[in-house]
Structure 1
Amino acid sequence: MTGTPASYDSVARYDTLIHRRQTRSVRVGDIWIGSDHPVAVQSMINEDTLDIEGATAGIRRLHEVGCEIVRLTVPSLAHANAVKEIRQRLEDTYQPVPLVADVHHNGMKIALEVAQHVDKVRINPGLFVFDKPDPNRTEFSPEEVSAIGERIAETFEPLVQLLKQEDKALRIGVNHGSLAERMLFSYGDTPLGMVESAMEFIRICDRLDFHNIVVSMKASRAPVMMAAYRMMADRMDAEGFPYPLHLGVTEAGDGDYGRIKSTAGIAPLLAEGLGDTIRVSLTEAPEKEIPVCYSILQSLGLRKTMVEYVACPSCGRTLFNLEEVLHQVRNATAHLTGLDIAVMGCIVNGPGEMADADYGYVGKTPGTISLYRGRDEIRRVPEAEGVAALIALIKEDGRWVDP
């Protein structure tokens, strides 16, 4: 049988470039979220917001390691008032940092207060107008559904109007594990239920002519999360709502598995062009999330914030201790930004596999290293001088900065 399957006919399937879904731009402090801007990195402090000193320090630690937007939890009016003091302390002792307030159960009064002190408010549609589930309920009548919808719109409108007046942003953040009871009855515990939950709030905003919206569809399982985001993007585009997406796998855990699980959910969507800001949710110190975010973005070519190291896995042809030398090269150059450096064990694969690198360190013969600039061999040096000679070459090109 000859011919190409229809699903493979599209040239786009083989395109090496990421074509981002076109979205509007939404400003969060001095950071813009949307397809015309780099994918933004964010995280969330784990200090109690009432601990003003601790929360301020936590926000600063995150910002200093590259977190561009910081979220804090605001479960009460006292917490909302504390945010005002936190913001002032940041401005007085450090610098302004884009802040997001997380508001949950029946939090309208809290949201109206804290909206004056942050750059974005995040609400969870399943909890914002919250009714305790009734274990005896078997269905929702159309009249009940309509009445709940009207109550949500009436409750939600003052926050939308305030955010519109203040020119601030809203995140409609759906969580798979906290869908409203009527959504579960109507759509089940499904990505469709997540989408419908978000769309209800988006349509209210649209009726009020408010469009500074970012949407998230988080789940603790990557396949559910990916399905929800794809469906959400399709639904918004079909209805003319080009809002940015905030990507994340919620409750990913810790260690290698938490990092792999987050990457498994976030990276495929980014590669498809979906996603304008990301958070990796680890059960670790929040600062440890930021390198993972940047690694995901750099591996896909979406941001260049560190050195990209290309290194072969080593084999019987390798002419030096590849793992040791890679560590030496990394230790000497990791502070640089925007370079691709290849460390290759032998000449067989070296020049070809590292063709896109800015610089190459290749085993030429036993005891001898070849240094490359792009595809061109520049010089050969004794192995003991290899790392120093690589640094000297980078300096010659004016691309070196001191640590």
Structure 2
Amino acid sequence: MQTLDTPKTPTSSASDFDTTIHRRKTRPVKVGDVTIGGGYPVVVQSMINEDTLDIEGSVAAIRRLHEIGCEIVRVTVPSMAHAVALAKIKEQLAKTYKPVPLVADVHHNGMKIALEVAKHVDKVRINPGLYVFEKPKDDRSEYTQAEFNEIGEKIRETLKPLVLTLKEQDKAMRIGVNHGSLAERMLFTYGDTPEGMVESALEFIRICESLEFYNIVISLKASRVPVMLAAYRLMVKRMDELGMDYPLHLGVTEAGDGEYGRIKSTAGIGTLLAEGIGDTIRVSLTEAPEKEIPVCYSILQALGLRKTMVEYVACPSCGRTLFNLEEVLDRVRKATKHLTGLDIAVMGCIVNGPGEMADADYGYVGKQAGYISLYRGREEIKKVPEDKGVEELINLIKADGRWVDP
């Protein structure tokens, strides 16, 4: 019989509380000079909203995105003229900037456009629900297996030339399923469900595999986070059952704008990344594409998947705080935000200070009125007047050889 003084037998080990995200193993897929999957860092993507026929505007938009950290840029190609324009865009980028990994969206009547655009981009994105048009019938009561097979064969015939040209050029394809645009057959058979999304993707994967083409990335986007989560989780389950290891492109489509659009995207993308699912991400905001990139990097930084900025640890402030925490944090950030890779803590009092900031490289702590204690890790280095705090923090970082000029 266990008494109050008897230590409890541990029911779990330290490994049960592993704080490292263990990413699902996937095959590497090259997109220009960037690799998706294969253990490489999660890749950040976005999409320009310029008309692809506007060569100068498109080149400028692609460059703006790439310069702020967007590693793969997508453009839309609704017509043959747009596909031809991509050749000029690619040429202009190489001449005036540098080569940028490009993806082209191909939707309706895709075969001729896709074959042309495959010459000029590094990856072609197709939407299975739109690639071959299926006219709905109001009086349909079932899809026979013969009808299923007939449409499947038509899809194969349409897709085969694109697959072969991508294979020949060692380029990639994204099979991009959208919850809102499933094919009529899939809707009728599975309903507007994650299962229908997964089966739609698998149909196209099998066609690619039958042609020995494996440079494939999969996405299953939805505008509702629970649907998006269910679709990706089911896709992983089915791929595991089938021995497939294709990388996944994560996104909550049509997330909207502002704070809610960012929260919605983070809820979907961040949840899956925390489960080890996902190899490349795009945050879809109804804003300028440049606004998407900081959100992507913030998600990755918060999960410890990429380090692209300074990590600031700061308490929420309370009655014990000995200085204006919001103002001080702003001053510290302005002085140090360029020091990518550092963790800096700004803590309002000694109660939260050393303990809460234990993992930080440097700490800025209010220990007594009018004075700041500066820490290196857990070690208190010096106490300085509050008005000298930021200056002395910089001096400490410089003394450690970790300072670089902005």
Q: Same fold (TM over 0.5)?
A: yes
Tell me the alpha carbon deviations over residues 227-269 of structure 1, each in whole angstroms, 9 at most, x when there is no partner.
0001101111211110000000000000000000000000010
Match of 2:160?
157
Hey, what's the Cα distance between the residues in 1 that align with 2:319 and 2:48? 47
Within the candidate set 223, 227, 235, 2:226 is matched to 223
Corresponding residue for residue 182 of structure 1: 185
2-side partners of 1:12 and 1:104: how far apart?
46
Equivalent position SS for 1:342: strand
Q: Following the alignment from structure 2 to structure 1, what is the Cα–Cα distance between the partners of residues 264 and 329?
A: 27
Aligned with 1:345 (options 339, 343, 348): 348
Post-superposition CA distance 1:102-126 (Å, at most 9, x none)? 0001211000000010000000000
Percent sequence identity over aligned pairs: 76
Matches within 5 A, 1:71-150: 71-150=74-153
Q: C-alpha distance in 2, partners of 1:64/1:135?
A: 50
Partner residue in 1 for 2:298: 295
> Is contact 2:345–2:362 with CA below 8 Å preserved after alignment?
yes
Q: Superposition RMSD on alpha carbons, in Å?
A: 1.3
Match of 1:393 among 377, 391, 396: 396
| Deviation per residue, 1:165-194 (Å, 9 max, x gap) | 000000000000000001011111000000
1:276 pairs with 2:270: no
Residue 321 (str. 1) matches residue 334 (str. 2): no
**Alignment partner for residue 252 of structure 2, among 230, 249, 267?**
249
Deviation at 1:14, TM superposition (A): 2.4
Pick from 304, 307, 312 the counterpart of residue 304 of structure 1: 307
CA distance in 1, matches of 2:352, 2:239: 46
How much has 1:11 moved relative to structure 2?
Answer: 6.9
1:365 corresponds to: 368
Please report the TM-score for the alignment, with normalisation by the length of structure 2. Answer: 0.96
How far is 1:15 from its partner? 1.8
Instruction: Please tell me whether the aligned partners of residues 163 and 211 of structure 2 are also in contact (alpha carbons under 8 angstroms).
Output: yes
Alignment match, 2:7:
none
SS in 2 for 1:370: strand
- After superposition, residues 192-211 of structure 1 pair within 5 angstroms as 192-211=195-214
Q: Which runs of 5+ in 1 are unaligned?
A: 3-7
Out of 136-145 and 149-158, give the one that drifted further: 136-145
Counterpart for residue 5 of structure 1: none
Per-residue CA deviation, residues 192-231 of structure 1 (Å, 9 max, x unaligned), is 0000000000011111111000000000001100100011
Structure-2 separation of matches of 1:218 and 1:293 = 16
Structure 1 CA distance for aligned equivalents of residues 58 and 108 of structure 2: 22
SS in 2 for 1:362: strand
Number of residue equivalences: 397
Q: CA deviation at 1:75?
A: 0.5
Cα distance in 2 for residues equivalent to 1:14 and 1:208: 43
Deviation at 1:377, TM superposition (A): 0.6
**Preserved contact between residue 20 and residue 35 of structure 1 (Cα < 8 Å):** no
Tell me: CA distance 1:346–1:9, structure 2 relative to 1, closer, same or farther (3 Å).
Answer: closer
1:111–1:159 CA contact under 8 A, matched in 2: yes
Deviation string, structure 1 residues 37-80 (Cα, Å, up to 9, x no partner): 00000000000000111011100000011000000000110000
Indicate the SS of the match to 1:348: coil
**Pair 1:70 & 2:73 matched:** yes
* CA contact 2:362–2:377 (8 Å) conserved in 1: yes
| TM-aligned CA distance change 1:79 to 1:10, over 3 Å | farther
Aligned 8 A contact 1:122 1:171 in 2? yes
- Paired position in structure 1 for 2:22: 19
Partner of 2:5: none
Q: Please, what TM-score do these two structures have when normalized by structure 1?
A: 0.97
Gaps of 5+ in 2: 3-10
Q: Distance in 1 between matches of 2:141 and 2:332?
A: 64
Q: Could you say if the C-alpha distance between residues 389 and 11 of structure 1 is closer, same or farther in structure 2, counting changes exceeding 3 Å?
A: closer
The alpha carbon displacement at 1:395 in A equals 1.1
- Residue 333, structure 1, aligned to residue 330, structure 2: no
Secondary structure at the residue paired with 1:399? coil
Distance 1:10 1:124, change over 3 A: farther
Q: Structure 1: how far apart are the matches of 2:301 and 2:15?
A: 21
CA contact (8 A) 1:49 1:79 kept: yes
Does the alignment pair 1:40 with 2:40?
no
